[in-house]
């Protein structure tokens, strides 16, 4: 098994719960209350700002230029790629950039990003990647499972853009680049070091579930 496969194997039960979460299912069948999605969009926009900072820590931690370039490229991909999905939805939902950036960060959101940043600061390049990967890979898995259950989900007039964005070949290729880096950075890790990566990845996967709960309940 590759490093990434070991990480994914450790969280199968947690990830299975994503697919049956009412928020995710609501996106999949188009029944989700748009007010809940509006709240989620603002919080996820704020999340991505700190998520990008985790990649920036990776730039600082990188021991060679090629790894530094990969982390730096990801900051560009998020700020000028993934966040475009959010900006498009925010425009449709009447959310200004000022409103989003002045909205208080929810407790669940702040706890999650604080954990990722701490894991990144305390660890090395591979620990940075372990903190990053749960979000990146789970969104692709969720979008593709939605399409498996409802092949027309990406055509929905409102939620289709979200589904198609995370199920896209472009997003998949970015994830392949990230998993390739993860496998490379931790290829020679000892069992104890691998256990630490699994701990980080599992914690972030649990935080992902809490994020869906937060969005569904609109928790502050």
CA distances from 100 to 55, 90, 211 (A): 22, 9, 17
Q: What is the pTM of this model?
A: 0.94
- CA 72, 73, 75, 81: dihedral to nearest 10 degrees? 170
For the chain, which residues score pLDDT lower than 50? none
- For position 121, which CATH number holds? 1.20.910.10
Percent helix, strand and coil across the chain, each to the nearest 5? 80, 0, 20
Give the model confidence (pLDDT) of 86-106 as tens digits. 778 888 889 988 898 899 999
State the residue range of the domain holding 78. 3-217
Give the model confidence (pLDDT) of 39-65 as tens digits. 999 999 999 999 999 999 999 999 999
Total domains in the fold of the chain:
1
193 closest CA partner among 119, 126, 121, 117: 126
- What is residue 188's three-state secondary structure? coil
Catalytic residue among 82, 127, 174, 208: 208
Does the active-site annotation cover 135? Answer: yes
16 closest CA partner among 219, 207, 205: 205
Catalytic residue among 82, 125, 135, 145: 135
CA distances from 72 to 59, 61, 174 (A): 6, 12, 13
Instruction: Supply the pLDDT for residue 78.
Output: 83
- CA 89, 18, 175, 51: dihedral to nearest 10 degrees? 60
Does the active-site annotation cover 127? Answer: no
Instruction: Supply the pLDDT for residue 88.
Output: 80
Tokens of 168: 């896209």
């Amino acid at each position: 098994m590759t490093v990434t496969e070991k990480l994914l194997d450790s969280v199968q039960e947690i990830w299975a719960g994503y697919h049956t979460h009412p928020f995710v299912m609501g996106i999949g069948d188009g029944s989700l209350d748009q007010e809940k999605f509006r709240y989620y969009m603002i919080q996820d926009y704020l999340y991505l700002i700190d998520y990008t900072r985790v990649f920036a820590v990776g730039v600082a931690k990188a021991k060679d230029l090629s790894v530094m370039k990969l982390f730096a490229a990801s900051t560009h991909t998020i700020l000028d790629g993934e966040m475009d999905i959010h900006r498009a939805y925010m425009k449709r939902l009447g959310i200004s950039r000022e409103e989003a950036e002045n909205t208080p960060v929810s407790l669940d959101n702040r706890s999650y990003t604080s954990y990722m940043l701490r894991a990144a600061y305390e660890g090395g390049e591979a620990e940075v990647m372990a903190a990053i990967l749960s979000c990146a890979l789970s969104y692709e898995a969720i979008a593709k499972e939605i399409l498996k259950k409802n092949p027309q989900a990406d055509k929905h007039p409102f939620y289709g853009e979200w589904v198609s964005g995370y199920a896209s070949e472009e997003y998949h290729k970015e994830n392949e680049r990230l998993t390739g880096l993860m496998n490379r950075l931790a290829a020679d890790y000892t069992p104890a070091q691998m256990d630490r990566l699994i701990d980080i990845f599992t914690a972030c996967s649990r935080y992902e579930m809490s994020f869906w709960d937060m969005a569904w309940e609109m928790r502050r």
